[in-house]
Amino acid sequence: MYRPQIKVCDCTIRDGGLMNNSKFTLETVRGIYSACSRAGVDIIELGYRNSKAHFSPDKYGAWRFCDEDMLKKATEGIPKTAKIAIMQDAHKATGDDVLPKSESVVDLIRVATYVKDVDKAIALANNATKKGYEATINIMAISHVLERDLDEALQQIENETSIIACYIVDSFGSLYSEDIDYLVHKFQRYLRTKEVGIHCHNQMQLGFANTIEGIIKNVNYLDGTLYGLGRAAGNCPLELLMGFLKNPKFNIRPILDVIETTILPLRSEMEWGYNIPYMVSGMLNVHPQDAMSFVDRQRAGANNDSFVKFYERMRAEDEA
């Protein structure tokens, strides 16, 4: 009923931080880390390790930088049962931002990249493995990638890195199961010595379904977030994924508890999950930033646009 090779990664703090500039309280991060640890999650991603030259600490919270002292405060006193991960953006981070593994609580560095920046991603991933970490490369906005560029990038990743997995990232939540099948087959064809991972967004309510499609095609690294908390429509819900996998090591009770006590109250601060503007951005295969602005204005009572007007404007921009 389950495949023991599968590794589940919780991305709640990192992806959810795209909705509040990574301004989670330390109490919230500790609660999520503790719940995921007790639930049997394999990897817990606590935020970004991006450069303060690109992100101002005056605007962004501690989890956009994941300084070691904050990571220690977030994890100390909690039994460590999972690998701790952080993410570096290939175009917004440097190798110098990463300490040697012997000086860090981090186990895994996930490098997020656009295909055009794959050389930067490879350099960061190799820097991480050289310093003693495991690493992955996550190819963002894959629905906008040209075929030839993706082929070349995968060849480079296979030949020039020792990462443990390379991720298909449906950044715009626009992929269907047929697309997942095609991409997984391509990744597996090129990545003979690496696992394939999948990170889905939920603009068209397909994040969970597309993750299942990846599992069926032998994808072994799976991302999810608590109650789907993540940018725009959010991600594959972790609790649904755990229920589907039937792995006896999982204990869903801490997950249900932290969703009720910690995640749901965040609804008063931010809005994620399915709604029409996010659905439109997914249908049109565009970045959700305009939809996020629409929703923010709507919440503030300062939005005079209708859904139809938003749809027509987005279509016009897409066809321009």
According to DSSP, residue 303 is labeled -
- Can you tell me which residue has the tokens 């997950």? 255
CB count in 10 Å sphere of residue 135: 25
pLDDT exceeds 80 at position 267? yes
pLDDT at 55: 95
Domains, the chain, in order of start with CATH, read: 7-268 (3.20.20.70), 276-319 (no CATH)
pTM recorded for the entire structure: 0.97
Pair of tokens at residue 310: 């938003």
- Residue-wise pLDDT tens digits, 129-142: 999 999 999 999 99
pLDDT at 303: 81
pLDDT at 100: 98
3-state secondary structure of 11: coil
pLDDT at 226: 98
Q: What value, to the nearest 5°, has the Cα angle with vertex 204 and ends 208 and 252?
A: 25
Q: Mean pLDDT throughout 144-150? A: 97
pLDDT exceeds 70 at position 1? no
- Residue-wise pLDDT tens digits, 195-215: 999 999 999 999 999 999 999
pLDDT exceeds 70 at position 277? yes
Q: Mean pLDDT throughout 1-5? A: 84
The more confidently predicted of residues 48 and 302 is 48
| Nearest CA among 51, 131, 36, 133 for reference residue 81 | 36
According to DSSP, residue 89 is labeled E
- Residue-wise pLDDT tens digits, 164-200: 999 999 999 999 999 999 999 999 999 999 999 999 9
How far is 272 from 293, CA to CA, in rounded Å? 12
213 CB-near residues (< 8 Å, 6+ apart): 177, 180, 181
Q: Mean pLDDT throughout 32-37? A: 98
